[in-house]
């Protein structure tokens, strides 16, 4: 079977640029994944970011090289997946908030305990569970197994808006989504093009 050459994602850029570029990209973990439809950007100069207060044990990955996984536990329950970005040592990352399931969907259903494809990966906690994310993935590079990341094959329509679930810097429009996707964690209020 012929497989198109993988288009690489450039993680060596500011987090909002990377977050936008990841919409429409393919993400797989051990072959389970799909198309990224929702991301959020975080940066050290950002009161809502885990890196705002500087380096700690938890956020060390975001002060390491770009293009690696940053994993954290959310509300003591969920595993959330981020991609580190920016030139190394800048404390920036992109939260992967939702994807459209394409491969390993039955495995996702087993892990999630639900059937509806729209509820498998719509939200960072759900996505982490569906993809089997854990601290075992912390700091791993994204350009080789178990990860597979490929940039979009074609141009996609991207919208932007305020981030979700934060209490600081709430107005910054650093949430990005695939326009009109049915697999978002929540719809975008005013669809502002993020060209």
Please report, as ranges, the residues that interact with DNA according to CB under 7 A.
40, 42, 48-51, 53, 56-59, 62, 70, 72-78, 80, 82, 93, 95, 112, 114, 119, 122-127, 163-168, 185
Cα separation values, 190 from 10, 125, 162, 187, 194, Å: 28, 24, 10, 9, 12
Shortest reach from residue 115's CB to DNA, in Å: 12
* CB nearer to DNA: pick between 111 and 157: 111
Any idea what DSSP says for residue 7? P
- Work out how close the CB of 131 gets to DNA at its nearest, in angstroms, rounded to a whole number: 12
- Give whichever of 13 and 157 is closer to DNA, judged by the CB atom: 13
Query: What is the smallest separation between the CB atom of 5 and DNA, expressed in angstroms?
Result: 30
Minimal distance, residue 133 CB to DNA, in Å = 12
Q: Give the residue with the Cβ less far from DNA, 125 or 161.
A: 125
Cα–Cα dist 120/128, whole Å? 10
Neighbours of 70 (CB within 10 A): 27
| Shortest Å distance, C-beta 123 to DNA | 2
Residue placing its CB nearer to DNA in the complex, 3 or 41: 41
User: In the 8-state DSSP scheme, what is residue 164?
Assistant: S
How many CB atoms sit inside 10 A of residue 60's CB? 14
Q: Determine contact, residues 179/157, Cβ cutoff 8 Å.
A: yes
Nearer to DNA, 66 or 82 (CB): 82
Query: At 63, phi and psi to the nearest 5?
Result: -100, 5
CA distance readout (Å), 43 to 62, 95, 182: 9, 11, 28
């Amino acid at each position: 079977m012929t497989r198109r050459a993988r288009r690489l994602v450039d993680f060596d850029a500011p987090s909002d640029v990377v977050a936008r570029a990841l919409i429409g990209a393919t993400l797989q973990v051990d072959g389970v994944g799909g198309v990224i439809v929702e991301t959020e950007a975080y940066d050290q100069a950002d009161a809502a970011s885990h890196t705002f207060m500087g380096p700690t044990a938890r956020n060390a990955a975001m002060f390491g090289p770009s293009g690696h996984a940053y994993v954290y536990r959310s509300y003591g329950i969920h595993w959330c997946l981020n991609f580190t970005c920016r030139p190394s040592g800048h404390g920036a990352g992109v939260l992967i908030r939702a994807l459209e399931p394409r491969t390993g969907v039955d495995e996702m259903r087993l892990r999630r305990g639900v059937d509806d494809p729209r509820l498998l990966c719509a939200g960072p906690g759900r996505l982490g569970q569906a993809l089997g994310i854990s601290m075992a993935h912390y700091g791993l590079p994204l350009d080789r197994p178990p990860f597979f990341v490929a940039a979009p094959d074609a141009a996609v329509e991207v919208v932007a808006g305020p981030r979700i679930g934060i209490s600081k810097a709430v107005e910054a429009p650093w949430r990005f989504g695939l326009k009109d996707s049915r697999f978002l964690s929540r719809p975008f209020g005013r669809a502002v093009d993020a060209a």
